Structure 1
Amino acid sequence: MEKENEILAKMQAEFAAKFGADAARETRSYFSPGRVNLIGEHTDYNGGHVFPCAISLGTYALVADRQDSKTQIYSMNMADKGVIEFPMSGLSYDKAKDWANYPMGVVKVFEDAGFKAGHGFDILIFGTLPNGSGLSSSASIEVLTALILNDAFDFGLDMVEMVKLSQKAENTFVGVNCGIMDQFAVGMGKKDCAILLDCNTLSYRYSKIALDGASIVITNTNKPHSLASSAYNVRRAQCEHALNELKEVKPELNALGELSNEEFNQLAGAISEPLERQRARHAVLENNRTLEAVEALEANDVAKFGKLMNESHYSLRDDYDVTGKELDTLAELAWQVDGVIGSRMTGAGFGGCTVSLVKNEAIEAFKEKVGKVYTEKIGYAPSFYVANIADGTHRVK
C-alpha cells in the first residue's frame, strides 16, 4: 500500500509542475491494472474461453476537471512526448498524438454512443507496466479513461458496458482487431481470482487461485513488438475464413469455440487451406484445454494445470505460429528448472511475455538460470515480475 501512496505523492508533485499548482483544483486518483492470461490464448475472438487475471502492475491517473472542452494529458513514462492536447468532441485518429490515441478513442466511442463529455480534463498518467510487454497496457489505459468519463459525468454505465466501449475504441479507432479479453480482465478483475470468461456470450465466473506455495512469475522477452502491425489481424482473418468453410458443412456453427475436439477432427477436412486448418485447430483445442485446466485448478490439481499450460505453448508455437525465438527460449528454459509447474507465452505473441507457475522456493533459481541462458542465446536480458492478482479498474480512495 505504501508503494501506491509513494507513487501518488510523486504524481501530485509532477501534476503541479505540468498543469499548475492551483490549490483550488481537486484531483481524483485512479488505478487500472494490466492483465496476464493464465491459459486460453487467441481464443477470445474465436468465441472460446479465456482464463485471465488482473495484476498489481498497471496504470495510475491523476485527474482534474477543466472549465473548457479540451483535455491535456501527460505520461511520466513518455516524457519525450510532452503534454498532448485534444478536444473532447469530434475526434479522429491522429498519428502525431501517439499513445494518446487510446484515451482519445474511448472519448470518441463514448460520444458516438450518446455519452458526450461536458468538459475536458488535465490528466497525469504513470504506468508500472512494461510497455509493449503483452500485459495489456493499451486496455489498461482504455478502461481507465472509460471510468474517468463515467465517474465525471455520472453516465451510469456498469463495468461490462465500459469494457465493451473500450474494446470498440481499440477495434474501430486504433485499428487493432482485438477480442474482448484484455479489457474484460482489466475492468472486471478481482483480487486472488482469475476469470473464466466465455467470449461468445460474455458469461463469466470467478475462480479462486490457490497456488499452494507457488507464484505467478511474468518474464518479459524485452523484444520490441507492435500489435497493430504484427500478424495478429492475419491470424484473425485465417480463423474467420476457416469458420466460414466449416459453416458450409455445419450451418448452425457460430464460432470455433463451440466445437469439441472430436467434432473438429471430423469436420477439419472442410477447411481447404492446410495452414488455416492448423490455425483453427489451435483455436478449438486451446478452448477445450482452457476448460480442462480450470477444472484441474478447482480440483487442486496444480500439476495438471501446469502440464496444460505447457501444451498451450506447444500449440501456439506449432499450430498458431505466434511465439518466435525469444518466447520459445524462455518457455523451454523454464521447463528445465526444478520447481516450475508450467510455463507458456501469454498475450498476442511475437515478443512480450511468458507466464510461469513457479514454487516459491525456486523463484530465485528460476530467475538466475533462465536469465543467464536467455541472455547468452538472445543477446540481451529478460525482466522478471512476480505478479499479485489484483482488483480491476477503480478509483483510489
Structure 2
Amino acid sequence: MIDQNMKQSVLENFEKVFGKREGIKTYFAPGRVNLIGEHTDYNGGHVFPCALTIGTYAAVAKRDDRVVQFYSVNQDRFGVYGVNLDDIDTINDQAGWTNYPIGVIWAFAGRGMKLDKGFDMVINGNIPNGSGLSSSASLEVLTGFILRDLYGFDVTNQDIALIGQYSENNYNGCNCGIMDQFASAMGKENNAIFLDTADLSYEYAPIKLDGAKIVIANTNKKHKLTDSQYNARRSMCEEALAILQKTVDIKGLGDLSIEEFEAHKDVLTDPDMQKKAKHAVYENQRTIEAVKALKAGDIEHFGELMRQSHESLRDDYDVTGVELDTLAEEAWKIPGVIGSRMTGGGFGGCTVSIVKDEAVEDFKRIVGENYLKKIGYEATFYTVEIGGGPQEI
C-alpha cells in the first residue's frame, strides 16, 4: 500500500532542492510495531514484530563525484547536509538525522562494499518521529536497500538488517537489538515475524484479526534511546547473564525457562538486576506462548499476554513512565479492547492495542480524553495495517 502522495512529495522536493529531473529512483521501507516480546532481542529471546504500511520514502539519484547529500521533507529547517565519502569514518554531531544513512554507508564500506560515487537523497516519512515505531531502523533499511540497488552490492534483505543494526550500534552508539531492522527488512503483508534473536531463525505467522484492528496510540512524548536508560538496561542484563553463566550453561537470558530462572535467580543479589533479568526471561516465554495462542485462534489469551507484558515492563523493567502507563491502563478499561501494551524501547513512544471494530472510535475518544486530562497534552491515534518489506516504487 504505497502512498502515492508521499512518493510525489519526495520527487517534487528532489527537483526543487537538487534541480534534477533525470535518473531519479524512488524507494520505500516500512516502520514496524512489535506485538509482544520487548527488550528480549538483545537477550537472545523471541520477538513478534510486524512491518507497517507507514514508513520512509526516498528519491535518489547518483552523482559524478564523491559527495553524498541529504534532505528531509520532515526536517526541512535542517536544510541540505552534504559530506564527502572520504570523511565519514567518525560520526559528526552536526550531521543530525543524516548520521543514520551515513552510518549504513560506513558499515557497507567496512564490509568491502565501497561507493565509487556519491548520491543525492530526499526522504519523507509518515512514521511519527521519536514514536518508537522505528523511524531510524526504517531509514537504515531504506539506505541499505538503495545501496544494493544503485551500486549492485550482493546482499540479502537479512544482510541489510544486520548491517543496519551494526551501524546503529557502532556508528550511532545505540546498543539496539536486531528486531527493528529485521522487521523492516523482512516484513510480509498480513504476517508478523516470530523471530528467535539467538540464531535469527524465524517464521511468518498470519495475523487474522477478524472483526478487530491494530491501533497505535502515540504518547507524543519524544524519546531518544541513545540518551536514555536503554543502554543501561542492556548493560545490566549482560551483567546478570555473566553471573548466571557461572551456575547454568546458557548463552543468553532467553535460553532460560521460567522454572530454571526461579531455581537460580538468587545468585543475582542485586534486587534491581534480578527484576531486569526476570523480565527478559518471562517476556521471552510470554512471546512463545502468545504465538501459540494466535495459531490456535485464541486472540483473547494473546490479549491477556499483552497486558502481562506491559505490567512486567512497568514493574520489573521500569521502562514505561506515566504517559505509556496511562494509555495502557485506560485502554484495559474499555470493553472491546482485546489487549494493549507499550511497544518499542519505552520512555515515551507508543502503545499497541488490538481493538474490536465496533469499539475503535470509543477507544480513541475515551482513552484520548482521559490521557489529556491526566497528562496535559494530547495523544495521537493511528489505525494501522501490516505491510511488506522495502521496495523500489
TM-score bracket, shorter-length normalisation:
over 0.9
Partner-residue secondary structure (3-state), 2:319:
coil
2:65 pairs with one of 65, 68, 72: 68
Aligned position for 2:185: 187
**What is the one-letter code of the residue matched to 1:239?**
C
Q: Does 1:55 find its partner at 2:26?
A: no
Aligned position for 1:242: 240
Cα distance in 2, alignment partners of residues 67 and 4 from structure 1? 31
Aligned position for 1:221: 219
Aligned position for 1:81: 78
Q: Any conservation in 2 of the 1:90–1:108 contact (CA below 8 Å)? A: no
- Misfit runs of 4+, over 3 Å: none
Q: Any conservation in 2 of the 1:89–1:111 contact (CA below 8 Å)? A: no
| Superposed counterparts of 1:123-162, under 5 Å | 123-162=121-160
User: What are the Cα deviations for residues 189-237 of structure 1, in whole angstroms up to 9, with x where unaligned?
Assistant: 0000000000000000000000111111000000122110100011001
Structure 1 position 10, deviation (Å): 2.6
Cα distance in 1, alignment partners of residues 367 and 333 from structure 2? 9
Partner-residue secondary structure (3-state), 2:121:
strand
Q: Any conservation in 1 of the 2:310–2:342 contact (CA below 8 Å)? A: yes
1:261 pairs with one of 247, 258, 261: 258
2:29 pairs with one of 7, 26, 32: 32
Cα distance in 2, alignment partners of residues 199 and 380 from structure 1? 37
Give aligned-pair identity as a percent: 53
Cα distance in 1, alignment partners of residues 146 and 159 from structure 2? 14
Cα distance in 2, alignment partners of residues 66 and 387 from structure 1? 37
Q: Any conservation in 1 of the 2:61–2:120 contact (CA below 8 Å)? A: yes
Aligned position for 2:118: 120
Aligned position for 1:95: 93
Cα distance in 1, alignment partners of residues 8 and 178 from structure 2? 33
Cα distance in 2, alignment partners of residues 51 and 151 from structure 1? 28
Cα distance in 1, alignment partners of residues 210 and 6 from structure 2? 31
Q: Any conservation in 2 of the 1:39–1:52 contact (CA below 8 Å)? A: yes
**What is the one-letter code of the residue matched to 1:175?**
G
Q: Any conservation in 2 of the 1:235–1:279 contact (CA below 8 Å)? A: yes
Cα distance in 2, alignment partners of residues 60 and 231 from structure 1? 30
Cα distance in 2, alignment partners of residues 364 and 143 from structure 1? 34
Structure 1 position 11, deviation (Å): 2.3
Partner-residue secondary structure (3-state), 2:57:
strand
Q: Any conservation in 1 of the 2:50–2:183 contact (CA below 8 Å)? A: yes
Cα distance in 1, alignment partners of residues 180 and 86 from structure 2? 26
Aligned position for 1:19: 18
Structure 1 position 8, deviation (Å): 1.6
Structure 1 position 6, deviation (Å): 2.1
Cα distance in 2, alignment partners of residues 118 and 360 from structure 1? 52
Q: Any conservation in 2 of the 1:31–1:144 contact (CA below 8 Å)? A: yes
Task: Compute the TM-score of the two structures, normalised by the length of structure 1.
Answer: 0.98
Partner-residue secondary structure (3-state), 2:146:
helix
Aligned length: 392
**What is the one-letter code of the residue matched to 2:197?**
C
Cα distance in 2, alignment partners of residues 35 and 11 from structure 1? 21
Cα distance in 1, alignment partners of residues 364 and 71 from structure 2? 34
Cα distance in 1, alignment partners of residues 310 and 24 from structure 2? 44
Structure 1 position 361, deviation (Å): 1.1
Cα distance in 2, alignment partners of residues 246 and 382 from structure 1? 41
Q: Any conservation in 1 of the 2:9–2:124 contact (CA below 8 Å)? A: no
Q: Any conservation in 2 of the 1:257–1:283 contact (CA below 8 Å)? A: yes
**What is the one-letter code of the residue matched to 1:83?**
V
2:39 pairs with one of 39, 42, 55: 42
Aligned position for 2:173: 175
Cα distance in 2, alignment partners of residues 344 and 7 from structure 1? 30
Cα distance in 1, alignment partners of residues 267 and 165 from structure 2? 32
Cα distance in 1, alignment partners of residues 102 and 229 from structure 2? 25
Q: Does 1:357 find its partner at 2:354?
A: yes
Question: RMSD of aligned C-alpha atoms?
Answer: 0.9
Cα distance in 2, alignment partners of residues 335 and 5 from structure 1? 36
Structure 1 position 90, deviation (Å): 4.2
**What is the one-letter code of the residue matched to 1:117?**
L
Aligned position for 1:10: 9
Q: Any conservation in 2 of the 1:48–1:257 contact (CA below 8 Å)? A: yes
Cα distance in 2, alignment partners of residues 328 and 290 from structure 1? 20
Q: Any conservation in 2 of the 1:89–1:108 contact (CA below 8 Å)? A: no
**What is the one-letter code of the residue matched to 1:299?**
A
| Superposed counterparts of 1:188-337, under 5 Å | 188-250=186-248, 252-337=249-334
**What is the one-letter code of the residue matched to 1:288?**
Q
Cα distance in 2, alignment partners of residues 89 and 159 from structure 1? 26
**Residue ranges of structure 1 left out of the alignment (5+ in a row):** none
Partner-residue secondary structure (3-state), 1:150:
helix
Task: Compute the TM-score of the two structures, normalised by the length of structure 2.
Answer: 0.98
